[in-house]
Amino acid sequence: MPLGTLPSDWCDRRVMGAATVTGAYADIYSAGWVGYLRQTLASDCVALGIEDLDDSVLQRGEPRRLTQLASLKVNEAGLDGIYYRSRYGHDLENWALFEPFKIIPYEAPIIVRPDDVDLQEACTLLGLKIERP
């Protein structure tokens, strides 16, 4: 059963492609960062009802306030963004880039179409469907 529906015009402003970025990025699930966040966000964790901060707590993405605070700490450290593995599979890499950023495309971007195989696979993985116009 789908968890949600993407509006039929969702693809209108979306492109995909391959690119690279320069800069320094925090590996948010590394032992060093987890240890740092555990110390600096201890009082916030108590307020959020989190008994112990570890990578599994960060990977859950809930409460959203915790991930926002972790992102703020990375930004305050002067880094360019965050690298983290997806909770849907550690073979999937995610990158959060702080603005302003510059990406260097490997290839021309491709317009995302509702019938794109990769989009359909992602929707299946996430329990989403695309609304028909």
| pLDDT (0 to 100) of residue 1 | 40
Q: What share of the chain is helix, strand, coil (3-state, %, to 5)?
A: 35, 25, 40
Do residue 7 and residue 65 come from a single domain? Answer: no
The series of mean pLDDT values per 10 residues for the chain, 133 residues long, is 74 86 93 96 94 90 90 96 86 89 86 88 86 77
Residue 119, Cβ neighbours under 10 Å: how many? 19
Q: From CA 65, how far away is CA 12, in angstroms rounded?
A: 30
| Confidence at residue 32, expressed as pLDDT on a 0 to 100 scale | 96
Interhelix angle 31-40/64-76, rounded to 10 degrees, is 100
Domain limits for position 83: 22-106
My answer on whether 9 and 38 are in the same domain is: no
> What pLDDT does residue 20 have?
87
Residue 120 CA to its chain's centroid (Å):
19
Q: What pLDDT is stored for residue 26 in this prediction?
A: 97
9 and 59, same domain (yes or no): no
Q: Based on the fold, state whether residues 34 and 85 are members of the same structural domain.
A: yes
E strand intervals along the chain: 4-6, 15-16, 19-21, 25-27, 81-86, 89-97, 103-105, 110-111, 128-130
45 lies in the same domain as 83: yes
